[in-house]
Amino acid sequence: MFRGRFFLFVQVFFCCLFLTVAGCGKKESSKNDESAVKVWHWMTDRQAAFEKLADQYYKETGVKVIFETYAPTDVYKNKITAAASGQLLPDIFNPLSDKRELASYIKAGFIENLNDEMNKGWKDVFFEKSLVQNMFEKNNEWGVEPGYYGVPLDVSSLMIYYNKDLFAKAGLDPNKPPKTWNEFIEAGKKLRAAGIQPFVSGFGEAWLVGSLASSYQWNLFGKQGILDTIQGKITYTDPRWIKIFELFNEMKENKMFASGIVTMINKDAERTFATGKAAMALNGSWGVNVYKSMNPSLQYGIMYPPSLPDAKYPLLVFGGDGSSMFVNAMSPKKDKAIAFLKWFTQREQQSFLAKETLNIPSNKESAQDLPEILKEFSKSIDQTFENLPMIESWQVTNYINTNLQSVIIGEKTPKQAAEEVQAEKERQMKVEK
């Protein structure tokens, strides 16, 4: 009898609790400061630095800015997609999308064109390359109104880190990293002979292997050549493309790759390099912060991917915009949001952010305040890929990346890989027609 009553009491109690909590809903919502500028970002490790700057901005202007960070990035992206569907995007956000998807956000009226503001002198504070990635040129293939849309908060580039101690151990000069392809292969041979894995990267993440290949695409084809390839005027069976696949084959033949590189995610590759288990690592400028956190005593330098002797064009590296923010065109507070972003990208704020997060700021003047290794990275920003008015279809890009992986594991010859990519390109061209 007692147990029955107790059970009933528990049920009633929880029902009441449920109703109480349910009733709280609207009251809680009204607590939110509606006049505050809301920013959604995905880098949770920057929350504290963002909040400090927001506090400073509030003291200076009386405008409250609320940073909300959501990670991992796929959850953040889901949140943005859902909020866009419900027209509930915050005042400042980033859809974390490629240019094609970004164009769809702009055309749907979610992102403000900042051309007028940028042309009033704002754009001059940034590294040029950090702006172009979120800029749309005239006659772009997506039909977006030309102009600047993104406000870069930081920049990044992809370089090769090398471990100075391991270089010395293999009899290589730690202050003279390889500059040409042949020197690079020779260094790899010496490292392997000394029992050291020469090269690591997160090639399990296809974009990394693709980025390295793209550097050589710029090196061998130049901008026009790349555009001609996208338009189908140059085929992927062109000897220069076969050469790109051969580079990876040559690295494989000379045992340069760390074991398991094709299935390795970048976090594992970073750990491999940070713990001295590989001598060279292709990684972004964010690696400076990562390696410091994993192994503060690691002695390393950085170098460009080695250029090819017969290349006609400069070798460019992946990078430019690190993370950018976009202003919600539908927000009634968009002027406040733009004013905040202008303040946020000034030298003092950017230097503070760079110091706190060990990233390269988008403000080029702040780059002078950086530690030496990041200064070196910042010099490479001008050598990052140029903006293109069109991009290769994602299906073909996927084919390039997976075929590069196949070459690395010896599943395909460079020629076979190039032919497969070309076959996919022809399929996609037919679909487009």
Partner 1 sequence: MNSFKTKKQILDFITHAILLAVAVTCIFPVFWMLSSSLKTQEEIFTKMTLLPEVWQWSNYVDAFVKAEFGMYFLNSVIYTVVGVSAIVLITSMAAYGFARLEFWGKNFLFYLLISTLLIPIPGVFVPLYLLLKKLALLDTRTGLLLCYISGALAFGLFLLRSFFEDLPKEIEEAALIDGCSRFGIYWRIALPLAKPAIATLVILQCLAIWNEFLLALVVLQDKAKMPIQRGLMVFQGTFITDYPLLMAGLTIATIPIVIIYLLMQKHIVKGIAAGALKG
Distance of closest approach, residue 59 Cβ to partner 1, in angstroms: 21
**Which of 2, 5, 22, 121 lies at the binding interface for partner 1 (CB under 8 A)?**
22
Distance of closest approach, residue 344 Cβ to partner 1, in angstroms: 19
Distance of closest approach, residue 33 Cβ to partner 1, in angstroms: 11
Output 97 or 140, the one with its CB closest to partner 1.
97
The window from 72-80, 102-110, 137-145, 413-421 that contacts partner 1 (CB under 8 A) reads 72-80
Distance of closest approach, residue 358 Cβ to partner 1, in angstroms: 10
**Which of 9, 11, 224, 259 lies at the binding interface for partner 1 (CB under 8 A)?**
11
Distance of closest approach, residue 293 Cβ to partner 1, in angstroms: 5
| 47 touches partner 1 (CB under 8 A) | yes
| 108 touches partner 1 (CB under 8 A) | no
**Residue by residue, what is the 3-state secondary structure of the chain?**
CHHHHHHHHHHHHHHHHHHHHHHHHHHHHHHCCCCCEEEEECCHHHHHHHHHHHHHHHHHHCCCEEEEECCCHHHHHHHHHHHHHCCCCCCEECCCCCHHHHHHHHHCCCECCCHHHHHCCHHHHECHHHHHCCEECCCCCCCCCCEECEEEEEEEEEEEEEEHHHHHHCCCCCCCCCCEHHHHHHHHHHHHHCCCEEEECCCCCHHHHHHHHHHHHHHHHHHHHHHHHHCCCCCCCCHHHHHHHHHHHHHHHCCCECCCHHHCCHHHHHHHHHCCCEEEEEEECCHHHHHHHHCCCCCEEEECCCECCCCCCCCCECEEEEEEEEEECCCCCHHHHHHHHHHHCCHHHHHHHHHHHCCEECECCHHHHCCHHHHHHHHHHHHECCCCCCCCCHHHHHHHHHHHHHHHCCCCCHHHHHHHHHHHHHHHHHHHC
| 257 touches partner 1 (CB under 8 A) | no
| 274 touches partner 1 (CB under 8 A) | yes
Applying CB under 8 A, what is the total number of residues that bind partner 1?
Answer: 53
The window from 78-86, 145-153, 171-179, 414-422 that contacts partner 1 (CB under 8 A) reads 78-86
| 35 touches partner 1 (CB under 8 A) | no
Output 164 or 192, the one with its CB closest to partner 1.
164
Residue ranges that bind partner 1, judged by CB under 8 A = 3-4, 7-8, 10-11, 14-15, 17-18, 21-26, 28-29, 31-32, 42-47, 68-73, 75, 78-79, 81-83, 85-86, 88, 267, 271, 274-275, 286-287, 289-290, 293-296
